[in-house]
Amino acid sequence: MSNFWPRGTANRTLLEPDKRESTDPPRLPAPTWYNSQSPSASVAAGVAVLDALDIASSSMNNTYIQKALSDVKLGVFAGEPLSVLYKKWPAVFDVTFSSMVAVGERTGKMDDMYNAIAKFYEEETEESVAALTEMLEPIMIVFMGGTIGFILVAMYTPMFKMGEALGV
C-alpha cells in the first residue's frame, strides 16, 4: 500500500482502517488497558505525569488515541484533573477508567490505581478473547466436518464407480 499512496499523516489516517478517526467505542478494551499500563509503569518509576502521558501517546499507532492523550496532556499542564480530562474522551476512555482515575487522584496513589486499572482491563481483554474463541469453535467444527466429509466422498465415489463397472 505504501508504494501506491503518498506518505503523510492525513492520507494514513484516512486509508488505514486501524488509524481512522472514530467516535465509536473500542470493541475490545485493549487500547484502554495499554493506556493504563504505560502510565502505570512510568509513574511507578518516578516519571512525571506529563512525561508519562507523552510516552503513552507516542507509543500508540492510532492517531485518534494520540490526539486524546495529547489533549489530556495539555489539560494536565493547564491544571485540570486527569479524571475530568479522561471523561472528555468517552470513545477512548470509558466511565470505569475515568472513575478509577478519580479515586486514584483522591487517594494520591495514582501508580497503584493505574496498576489496578491495567489488571482490570487485561482480565477483561482476556475474557473477550476467550468469548470470541468460544464462538468460533462451533464454526471451526462444522468446517472441519464438511472438509472431512468432502474428502471421504471424493475418495469413495471413484471406488464405487469402479465396482459398478466391474459388476461387483
pLDDT tens digits, residue range 53-88? 888 777 777 788 888 888 888 998 888 888 888 888
Which of 43, 95, 52, 104 is CA-nearest to residue 73?
52
pLDDT attached to residue 31: 56
Would you say the pTM of this structure is higher than 0.75?
no
Arithmetic mean of pLDDT over the chain: 77
- Residue 114 CA to residue 35 CA, distance in Å, equals 9
Cα separation of 146 and 141, whole Å?
A: 9
pLDDT given at position 152: 94
Orientation angle between helical segments 110-166 and 30-44, nearest 10 degrees? 140
Regarding predicted confidence, which is higher, 142 or 115? 142
What local confidence, expressed as pLDDT, does residue 35 receive? 59
Please give the average per-residue pLDDT across 130-135, as a whole number.
Answer: 91
The rounded distance, in Å, linking the Cα atoms of 13 and 11 is 5
pLDDT of residue 37: 67
pLDDT tens string 8-56: 554 444 444 444 444 444 444 545 555 566 666 777 777 777 888 888 7
pLDDT at 124 over 90: no
Joined grid coordinates for residue 5: 499512496
Buried b (16+ CB within 10 A) or exposed e, 99-123: ebbbebeeeeebbebbbbbbebbbe
- Residue 17 is given by DSSP the state G
The CA-atom distances, in angstroms, between 49 and each of 30, 32, 94, 150 are 21, 17, 20, 60
Other CB atoms closer than 10 Å to residue 82's CB: what's the count?
20
SS3 50: helix
Q: Please tell me the distance from the alpha carbon of residue 26 to that of residue 158, in angstroms, as a whole number.
A: 52
C-alpha cell at 39: 502510565
Q: In this predicted structure, what is the pLDDT of residue 113? A: 85
